[in-house]
Amino acid sequence: IDARLPFGAITLAKLDPTFERITVVEGSLEGYAQYPGSDCLNGAVLKIPNGRSLMARASSHHYLLMTGHQLADIDLIGKVFGLRVESID
């Protein structure tokens, strides 16, 4: 699907394969990069507080991308499902 989200506040979230924690990072969607000949039609350009920390602590490269900053809501959901919420700052 060739789709774009609006520029601005975003949240990345990933449920760990152990189903014990969810990793969350808030940032902003700054733009898009097009890669001719690539299967990736719209490469999002994201700005996050600490890219090195995300790469060191990410459980994989498949993250849920949500509009807005959603950490507070994810924190509440984590309590309901017994998930440890790990925020990457």
Task: Say which residues have a Cβ less than 8 Å from residue 28's Cβ, sequence separation at least 6.
Answer: 7, 8, 9, 10, 46, 47
83 C-beta neighbours (distance < 10 Å), count: 17
- Per the DSSP assignment, residues forming a β-bridge with 23 are 14, 86
pLDDT of residue 71 exceeding 90, the answer is yes
- Bigger pLDDT: 85 vs 57: 85
The string of pLDDT tens digits covering residues 25-69 is 999 999 988 777 877 777 889 999 998 998 888 877 789 999 999
pLDDT of residue 14 exceeding 90, the answer is yes
- Global pTM reads 0.86
